[in-house]
């Protein structure tokens, strides 16, 4: 999947439509509380404007349900980007309407316009062809730099590049890096290859587990989904979060995985969902009726850390427990520390795992932190990404 990158294409004097992920959190005063997603898009943005391209940025923010909503305007993102680049960023108060058309037409070399939230128009999520064509008409070159939505066939992700026809369709540095790690490394991993899966529900990770059973050497299971597996083995789970309707599925996954699936051997549990509750560590499958499992136990954490230590490739998706609430963050901390200390190629699959790695200050100690939770899960499932397949291969354009 060696895709044509934006750096491979001459952008001087050309209009570049770049799909970015500026889905940043805003407070009640509509101030950005975490600008990392904007910061991570900067290398490809700078690549275009420093080479004299005319840049049209498009993104979604939040869930405005296909209607304009000032709470989800991208205006704060335009202001933040201007501050980061120390140059003006024009902002269009519509997406494909008259203001966008006027501001795109007015672009000079090295200038930027950010379009208003794509999801203010219901046609974005439906992948509408007319809307896709209007976006495509703005530009001479397309660039996908929004990995977090690469698994979606939205207008800006799939429809627009298809509508671009023979014009160059490229990836930005973020998507290029994600493909390199999540696709290429997993296709030919250095072994032992260990996956660590946590989070609340087995149902969220079924396809991932099924896909990884055929690829990984070991799969370590933590988080609340471990209790559904425990139930499948006849264990007692107390008040733990479980999916009773997934017990048969958990049984079949255990059978299919043979000894590849490593389940917790002890559980850190509490009699209430708060840090001041009564706590105890019990063997896995022996959680008292009035208690709920809130983290893997210390023996499990040590076992997982030892397995990680000998791995050559590690993929982690999902925390081991309630990592936002001490002391039930200890299992996640131990696993994160083991990954940070290991010499393995380590890929952190977005979402809560990425948040935990950042919170613990280990971002610089791992190989790659994915920018897309849902997208990284979809790639771990082995799904095809039509939004990426619609882009040009390096060879097909370079000869």
- The one catalytic residue in 127, 270, 331, 351 is 351
Q: Specify the pLDDT at position 396.
A: 56
- Tokens (6 digits) for 302: 């040590």
- The one catalytic residue in 52, 66, 97, 374 is 374
- The one catalytic residue in 37, 169, 239, 246 is 37
Is the pLDDT at 131 greater than 70? The verdict is yes
Q: Specify the pLDDT at position 350.
A: 66
Is the pLDDT at 376 greater than 60? The verdict is yes
User: What angle is formed at CA 224 by the lines to CA 222 and CA 230, rounded to 5 degrees?
Assistant: 80
Domains in the chain: ranges and CATH: 6-177 (3.40.50.1260), 189-380 (3.40.50.1260)
For residue range 327-345, what is the model confidence (pLDDT) as tens digits? 999 999 999 999 999 999 9
Task: Give residue 64's pLDDT band: very low, low, confident or very high (50, 70, 90).
Answer: very high
**Mean pLDDT over residues 216-220, rounded?**
96
Using a CB cutoff of 8 Å and minimum separation of 24, what contacts does 22-26 make? 22/57, 22/59, 22/61, 22/74, 22/77, 22/81, 22/114, 23/59, 23/60, 23/61, 23/62, 23/148, 24/61, 24/76, 24/77, 24/80, 26/61, 26/62, 26/71, 26/76
SS3 59: coil
* Averaged confidence pLDDT in the chain: 93
Q: Specify the pLDDT at position 207.
A: 85
| 152 in active site | no
| 123 in active site | no
**Mean pLDDT over residues 244-253, rounded?**
94
Return the percentage of the chain with pLDDT > 70, whole number.
Answer: 98
Task: Give residue 48's pLDDT band: very low, low, confident or very high (50, 70, 90).
Answer: very high
Distances (CA, A) of 229 to 100, 217, 293, 310, 340: 52, 19, 13, 25, 28
Q: Specify the pLDDT at position 399.
A: 44
- Identify the CA nearest to 314 among candidates 228, 218, 221, 393: 218
**Mean pLDDT over residues 243-268, rounded?**
95
| 51 in active site | no
Q: Specify the pLDDT at position 334.
A: 96
| 13 in active site | no
**Against a cut of 0.95, is the pTM above it?**
no
**Mean pLDDT over residues 53-79, rounded?**
97
The distance between the two most distant Cα atoms of the chain, rounded to a whole number of Å, is 69
Q: Specify the pLDDT at position 202.
A: 79
For residue range 81-95, what is the model confidence (pLDDT) as tens digits? 999 999 999 999 999
- The one catalytic residue in 177, 201, 236, 275 is 201
Least confident window among 52-66, 126-140, 200-214, 277-291: 200-214
Is the pLDDT at 239 greater than 90? The verdict is yes
């Amino acid at each position: 999947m060696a895709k044509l990158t934006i750096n491979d294409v001459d952008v001087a004097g050309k209009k570049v439509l770049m799909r970015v992920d500026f889905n940043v959190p805003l407070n009640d005063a509509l101030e950005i509380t975490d600008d990392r997603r904007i910061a991570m898009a900067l290398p490809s943005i700078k690549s275009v404007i420093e080479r004299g391209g005319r840049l049209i940025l498009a993104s979604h923010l939040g869930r405005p349900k296909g209607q304009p909503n000032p709470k989800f305007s991208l205006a704060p993102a335009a202001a933040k980007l201007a501050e980061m680049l120390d140059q003006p960023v024009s902002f269009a108060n519509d997406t494909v309407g008259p203001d966008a058309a006027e501001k795109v037409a007015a672009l000079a070399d090295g200038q930027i316009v950010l379009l208003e939230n794509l999801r203010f128009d219901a046609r974005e999520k439906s992948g509408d062809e007319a809307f896709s064509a209007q976006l495509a008409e703005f530009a001479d070159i397309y660039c996908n730099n929004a990995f977090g939505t690469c698994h979606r066939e939205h207008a800006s992700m799939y429809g627009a590049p298809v509508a671009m026809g023979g014009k160059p369709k490229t990836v930005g540095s973020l998507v290029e890096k994600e493909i390199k790690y999540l696709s290429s490394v997993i296709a030919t991993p250095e072994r032992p290859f260990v996956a660590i899966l946590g989070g609340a529900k087995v149902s969220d990770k079924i396809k991932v587990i099924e896909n990884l059973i055929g690829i990984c050497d070991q799969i370590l299971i933590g988080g609340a989904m471990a209790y559904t597996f425990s139930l499948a083995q006849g264990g007692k789970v107390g008040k733990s979060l479980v999916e009773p309707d997934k017990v048969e599925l958990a049984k079949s996954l255990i059978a299919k995985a043979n000894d590849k699936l490593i389940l917790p051997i002890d559980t850190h549990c509490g009699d209430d969902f708060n840090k001041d509750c009564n706590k105890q560590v019990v063997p896995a499958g022996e959680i008292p009726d009035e208690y709920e499992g809130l983290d893997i136990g210390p023996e499990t954490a040590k076992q997982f850390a030892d397995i990680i230590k000998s791995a050559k490739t590690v993929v982690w998706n999902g925390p081991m427990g309630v990592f936002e609430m001490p002391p039930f963050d200890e299992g996640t901390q131990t696993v994160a520390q083991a990954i940070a200390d290991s010499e393995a190629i380590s890929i952190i699959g977005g979402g809560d795992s990425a948040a935990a790695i950042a919170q613990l200050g280990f971002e610089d100690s791992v190989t790659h932190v994915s920018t897309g939770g849902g997208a990284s899960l979809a790639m771990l499932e082995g799904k095809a990404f039509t939004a990426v397949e619609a882009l040009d291969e390096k060879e097909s354009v370079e000869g």
